Structure formats: structure tokens, C-alpha cells
Amino acid sequence: MTTDAPMIGQFSGPQDNAPRLPTLKRTEPVETPPDVPAEPEKKTEADTTKTPEEVHAEFLSGLKRAAIDVVKAREIMDQILEKSHYTEIHNLRKTEIVIRSRNYRDTLRTQRFLEAESPTYAVNVDEIIMRYNVAASLVRFGQRIFDHPEDDDKSSNTEIEKAFDARLRFTETLPSVVVGKLGTLVYNLDIKLQAVFAEGAPEDF
């Protein structure tokens, strides 16, 4: 409810005005300041260092997320260390597809191409990386078998790059949806390898 403003020259207050209570006897609730949260304690380097048991537990969790058991992880690691690559077989309906892990040479090749092309958009970068990874990993597609001269130490750079170019050209002739499927297979393979070689695997695991 609002009160009419006093007329000019009127100094008396409203008729229903009551005497003010002494300051110390006011009954209005007094607001209390909110609690200020305590500043979190800074963690020292010793606090953030994980124990070997914690690191190994994280390693096992990573294998579980990648749907790999310890026996399969050992097999993958042994193949990588002995043959420098790991191979997987997949089936797309009646078409058998064989892919393999890549070498560091393949990573450098992709980096050189990206530097030369300097793509503007992130989607173009992702597409180039996916296409080059598929071509580097492809071993067999149905009846088509592809060479990987890099497995032979006597192969020249020319032979290795010629074989890669042949795989890349074949990949570019496939339907987009098939290339996308191959890209997913290669990506999942990379996830497995990262889990297998993550920190926490004991030397004799």
C-alpha cells in the first residue's frame, strides 16, 4: 500500500505513524553474511604422484574400456615388438578386410602432406588424416591384396611410396560410406594400441 506524498509545507508524518523503537530493541531479523568457502589446499607434487598400483589399475581400466583382456593385450604387444605391426581381420558382409597398425613413416608422410596442403578447415584436416591412415593400414579388401614393402629392410623409399600411392588410389575409388567404415575400423585399432601401450603395463604382464 502506497502513501500519498505530503503537500508542500506539511512536515508532520502520516497519521498512523508510531514512535520508533530504540535502536538496540529492534526486532527485525539481522542478515548474517554467507559462509565464505575455505580456500582449497594446494596439492604438492608428492600428493599428485600416483603409486605403481594406481597406475597399473588405470592401465587395466583402459584395457577394459577398449574391450581387450590381458591375454589379447600380450598378443598385440608381442606382434608389434616382433614384427613392427599388428594385423586384424574384419568382415563387411561377405567382403574380408584386413588392416594393420602403422609405422612412424606413415605419420611423417601425413604430416608432410598437411604442411604442403595447409587445409583451412578442421574438417578437411580430419578427412586427410583419415584417408591417409586408411591407405597406410589397408592390407586386403576382398580379393585385392596390397603390398607393404616397408616390412623389408631392403626396400627403397621409392618402392614404399609407390605401394602407398596404389593403396591411396584404391581407397579413393571406394564409395564414401565404405571409406567411412574403413576409417572407423582403423580408428578403433588405434584405440586398442593406445590402451595396450599405455603407462602401467608391467614388463612381464
**Residue ranges of the domains in the chain?**
87-192
Question: Cα separations (Å) of 63 from 50, 57, 68, 133, 193?
Answer: 19, 10, 5, 23, 10
pLDDT tens-place string over residues 115-157: 999 999 999 999 999 999 999 999 999 999 999 999 999 999 9
Region 171-196 average pLDDT: 96
pLDDT value of position 11: 41
Region 29-40 average pLDDT: 57
CB 26 within 8 A of CB 37: no
Full-model pTM: 0.73
